[in-house]
Structure 1
Amino acid sequence: MAVATARVTVGAMDGGHRGWLACVLGGAVFAVCMAGTTLPTPLYPLYQAKFGFSDLTVTVVYALYAFAVIAVLLLVGNASDAVGRRPVLLCGLGFAAASAVCFLCATGLGWLFAGRLLSGLSAGLFTGAATAYVMELAPEGGASRATFVATAANMGGLGCGPLLSGVLAQYADWPLYLPFVTHLILVAGAALVVLRLPETVRERQPLRTVRPQRPALPPQVRAVFAPAAIASFVGFALLGLFTSVSPDFLARSLNVHNHAVSGLVVALAFFSSTAGQLAVGPVGARRSLPLGCAGLLAGLVLLAGALRWDLMALVVLSAVVGGVGQGLAFRGALSEVAGASPQRQHAEVISTLFVVAYAGISLPVIGVGLLTRPIGLEGAGLVFIACMAVLVSVAAAYLLRRPVPART
């Protein structure tokens, strides 16, 4: 769920390293890191049973990740432009490994908080740096394919995390340990790959030169930014809901206790988002944002039906339709906002959009957790859906009334 915001990069590489192998290997490293951020998703019911915490605590544990990502994006999101891609990626992999160790050592809630915080720091470092790195590793003229690799690695990695941990938790021993041991092995392999790949930032500077990226919203961007930000907020909120509380809903309301199935449902949302982002090319950025809003609204309606009538088929359809809508809306939003922003404030405007998007991951799911105790998970979910449906409908109506100019 990222876009490169580098200021000065070098797209061409020395002939010995030029080729798609390096680009794909960079994408694999990206996927390994992002998989770790969603690895605990199917395991939350097991942690609840082990430590005895509430649904609200689950959402707070999950949301802590988003707060860490926002902090890193704003404070050192452009660090790889100065010190180079490889040092930042290695640091991110170090945080990912530390996160896995926290979950392995978990004897109480504090370890889970620490693990999610470190996971957010890892994702925050990878968000811009890895996307830029993958695109720079590609051969000249391969920007379009490199964008596909970066998108697939990002969202595909997020989808593979719950799928991997769900399968291991269901069909292997030590469900709270084996997924993180496996991820540690993958992280070690990813670090070796990064050490073998070339650096693409030629003119590196000391870390002290890195300055926080201040969110900005120039006047000419505001008309475009409003619907783009609303759609991004709702799309990330929907993915956040699937990632944080859907395993608990499947277990309580649908009597689905198979961790592999829970992981697959979450993975479908992320894989569908990847498909939606890839569809922006043929659909066009101008049409993808309103179409994405329509997809999000349809996904929310399907999720409401799943909550109301306890139907597994509607849960799956909601994940697929809502995921496609999120992918269309978010990539369209990025394209429109980037196209409307002045070049000198490009990174600042994109950072602002990411702050709004990651707020969507955290704040609404905490709201669901707060409402679960007084009105139940179904009632809390329906309130969430109603609020998100109103927001995305406002954005869609605005886009239909005042369509923004197409930008490339």
Structure 2
Amino acid sequence: MAGDRRGWRVCLLGGAVFGVCMTGTTLPTPLYPLYQQKFGFSELTVTVVYAVYAFAVIGVLLLAGNASDAVGRRPVLQWGLGCAAASAVCFLLATGLGWLYAGRLLSGLSAGLFTGAATAYVMEAAPRAGDSRATFVATAVNMGGLGCGPLLAGVLAQYAPWPLYLPFAVHLALVACSSAVLLWLPETVRERRPLSTVRPQRPGVPAPVRPVFGPAATASFVGFALFGVFTSVSPAFLAESLQVTDHAVSGLVVALAFFASIGGQLTAGRVPVRRSLPLGCAGLLAGLALLAGALYGNLLALVVLSALTGGFGQGLAFRGALTAVGEASPEDRRAAVISTLFVVAYLGISVPVIGVGLLTGPMGLEGAGLVFIACMGALVVAAAAYLLRRPVPAAT
């Protein structure tokens, strides 16, 4: 009993460190309009700055996603916190666009190092009987941290001095505390190997998994693309089209999407996978439709409903996708297949966002957003139609 309590304590502390790291990755979201005013760059540049983060995550997942299996979880997590601290310093020193690119690159490196290592750590630290709860802790602190970033930055930017500096100073202090906590936490990898034994992971999808992987990856792509648009361009839309200049409100709207995702993930744990994936697609489609209405009618209420509905659908679909792909994959290829799913998801958070930025110049933010919604809607409808015709088989 005492061992179980200690295991859960370690699990939750590891989750808290995970949340602190992920908070830093979305911290600049409500501050982009302020950076645009200060440095004078376009909406396309905002989306490119944002996408640099996603490409850095993808690079780490492909090149060093399995590093913690060899050298241990704690060293990789310390590297991740080091990158997070360096990212905060870049934003604190920012005197031009180059600093923002460097800060986002380092933030992506920290997230890429944490994504696999921290998830594995939280699950391994928990008592064996709590595996399913530990999985939820890992996914919840991931999305919760992503949601806390814009909320924290928005509140500090609106109600405290030094809006472009104080959020990163606070995060730097949280990272320092997390590093101290990590020194106390035990290592969960028993047999460690030198870093030289780590080899880049090659994404792959075995033929038997492809019927499940296709719709699961499509739903993941659309869900993360919706998050990408919310975190990169929604502050500009709120300010330009709805005259919402309160940074706290802007941060809260973005945070709601991530918090709603936690609710979707929790629901997915109680719904069979054959239902959670199509239901998640329906939630994503409803979120996209509400976002279209918000763009067309310039209505803040629809933006909020879109964040809640789309976020819930993303959580439902993504946890269902992870479960379906994991169950369908052969044990010796499971890690590679799941890594491939994450690569597709992070492509969703970057490529469509750049497309929106490119279209903003000739079409305006609303027009570019409607084109994005039409494309993502077509993808999610195709995935849902496939799942209705060929449901994911029940686990045996």
1:276–1:328 Cα contact (<8 Å) kept: yes
Distance 1:178 1:49 in 2: 18
Aligned counterpart, 2:157: 169
Distance 1:115 1:74 in 2: 21
> Given the alignment of the two structures, is residue 139 of structure 1 paired with residue 127 of structure 2, yes or no?
yes
> Given the alignment of the two structures, is residue 70 of structure 1 paired with residue 54 of structure 2, yes or no?
no
Following superposition, the deviation at residue 326 of structure 1 comes to 0.4
Aligned counterpart, 2:185: 197
1:17–1:198 Cα contact (<8 Å) kept: no
User: What pairs up with 1:129-278 in 2 under 5 angstroms?
Assistant: 129-278=117-266
- Which one of 388, 395, 398 corresponds to residue 376 of structure 2? 388
1:286–1:407 Cα contact (<8 Å) kept: no
Query: Structure 1: which 4+ aligned runs deviate by more than 4 Å?
Result: 14-17
User: What pairs up with 1:6-405 in 2 under 5 angstroms?
Assistant: 15=3, 18-405=6-393
Following superposition, the deviation at residue 19 of structure 1 comes to 2.9
2:19–2:145 Cα contact (<8 Å) kept: yes
Matched-pair identity in %: 79
The AA in structure 2 aligned to 1:297 is L
Distance 1:15 1:330 in 2: 32
Distance 1:294 1:235 in 2: 11
Segment drifting more, 70-79 vs 133-142: 133-142
Distance 2:250 2:26 in 1: 12
Following superposition, the deviation at residue 16 of structure 1 comes to 9.8
Distance 2:5 2:237 in 1: 48
Distance 2:106 2:100 in 1: 10
Deviations 1:40-99 (A, max 9, x none): 000000000000000000000000000000000010001001000100000000000000
Q: Flag structure 1 segments of 5+ consecutive residues without an equivalent.
A: 1-13
SS of equivalent residue, structure 1 residue 141: helix
Q: Residues 262 and 144 from structure 1, CA distance in 2 versus in 1: closer, same or farther, beyond 3 angstroms?
A: same
Distance 1:57 1:339 in 2: 40
Distance 2:346 2:34 in 1: 26
Segment drifting more, 281-290 vs 48-57: 281-290
Distance 1:17 1:226 in 2: 40
1:235–1:326 Cα contact (<8 Å) kept: yes
Following superposition, the deviation at residue 407 of structure 1 comes to 2.4
SS of equivalent residue, structure 2 residue 163: coil
**RMSD over equivalenced CA pairs, Å:** 1.3
The AA in structure 2 aligned to 1:264 is L
The AA in structure 2 aligned to 1:242 is F
2:4–2:127 Cα contact (<8 Å) kept: no
Following superposition, the deviation at residue 192 of structure 1 comes to 0.3
Following superposition, the deviation at residue 245 of structure 1 comes to 0.3
SS of equivalent residue, structure 1 residue 216: coil
Following superposition, the deviation at residue 18 of structure 1 comes to 3.2
Distance 1:309 1:35 in 2: 32
Following superposition, the deviation at residue 15 of structure 1 comes to 4.5
SS of equivalent residue, structure 2 residue 269: helix
